């Protein structure tokens, strides 16, 4: 992929993730080209790539929009994540054991201020990436890539309050304990409930916004 296409892809993806480009917003090639500083061709290529990754949807008239998924769509995403990441955690407990647990404990212990959402997102990404690496399966990594990079993961974390951040960290610590013990089913259970709880945070926030409208 060319440098211009990489720049276009990274630029549009970042604008979607930070909420600058909101769900349902139309993506106009000329405006994006001016904003990012590339021609329309790499913008077009980037939009196709983002469509394949579910960040962007295309209408029958071939207009592109930031993906605006229903609660049912999001539930399916989190259900698939829970299934896959639960298996990742179980495999990590079997393959990684105490060595992996030691690496994960350092990440958990380095977690910063729970009120800093961006710092939490970085911490969370590092933790889950290390668990995935510890599972030692490229196939699982490929299957999870699209689900974990969804904008909804970022939007969900932005709905956490201090108590929910602490709960998430506590679940990370429990997962480390399960991996340290080499208990695959314990690890699977912790990860599955961790992902499902995150979905319900998103669901509650969505319902709250709907009542306000």
Last residue of a domain, one of 25, 47, 66: 66
Q: Please check whether residues 95 and 11 belong to one and the same domain.
A: no
What percent of the chain lies above the pLDDT cut of 70?
88
Residue at a domain's end among 66, 99, 120: 66
The pLDDT score that the predictor gives to residue 154 is 65
Tell whether 103 and 202 lie within a shared domain. Answer: yes
- Regarding whether 127 and 163 lie in a shared domain, the answer is yes
pLDDT digits (tens, 9 = 90+) for 195-213: 999 888 878 766 655 555 5
What pTM does this model have? 0.75
Taken in order 71, 77, 83, 86, the sign of the CA dihedral is negative
Q: What is the pLDDT of residue 189?
A: 98
Nearest one of 173, 179, 172 to 100, comparing CA atoms: 179
- Which of 1-10, 103-112, 128-137, 182-191 is predicted least confidently? 1-10
For 61-102, how does the pLDDT look when each residue is reduced to its tens digit (9 = 90+)?
A: 989 999 877 778 888 888 999 999 999 999 999 999 999 999
Number of domains in the chain: 2
Q: Does position 16 have pLDDT exceeding 90, yes or no?
A: no
Q: 11 with 80, same domain? A: no
CB 89 within 8 A of CB 190: yes
Indicate if 103 and 43 belong to the same structural domain.
Answer: no
Give the domain extent around 50.
Answer: 3-66
């Amino acid at each position: 992929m060319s440098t211009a296409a990489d720049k276009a892809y990274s630029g549009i993806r970042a604008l979607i993730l930070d909420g600058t480009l909101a769900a349902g917003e139309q993506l106009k090639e000329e405006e994006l080209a001016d904003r990012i500083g590339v021609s329309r061709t790499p913008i077009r290529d980037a939009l196709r790539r983002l469509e394949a990754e579910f960040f962007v949807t295309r209408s029958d008239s071939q207009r592109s929009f930031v993906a605006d998924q229903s609660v049912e769509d999001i539930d399916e995403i989190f259900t698939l994540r829970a299934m896959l990441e639960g298996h990742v955690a179980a495999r990590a407990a079997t393959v990684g054991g105490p060595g992996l647990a030691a690496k994960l404990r350092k990440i958990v212990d380095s977690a910063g201020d729970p009120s800093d959402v961006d710092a939490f997102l970085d911490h969370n990404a590092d933790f889950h990436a290390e668990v995935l690496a510890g599972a030692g399966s490229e196939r699982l990594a490929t299957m999870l890539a699209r689900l974990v990079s969804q904008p909804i993961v970022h939007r969900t974390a932005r709905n956490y309050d201090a108590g929910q951040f602490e709960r998430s960290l506590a679940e990370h610590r429990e997962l480390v304990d399960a991996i340290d013990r080499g208990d695959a089913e314990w690890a699977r259970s912790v990860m599955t409930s961790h992902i499902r709880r995150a979905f319900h945070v998103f669901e509650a926030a969505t319902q709250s916004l709907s009542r306000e409208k």
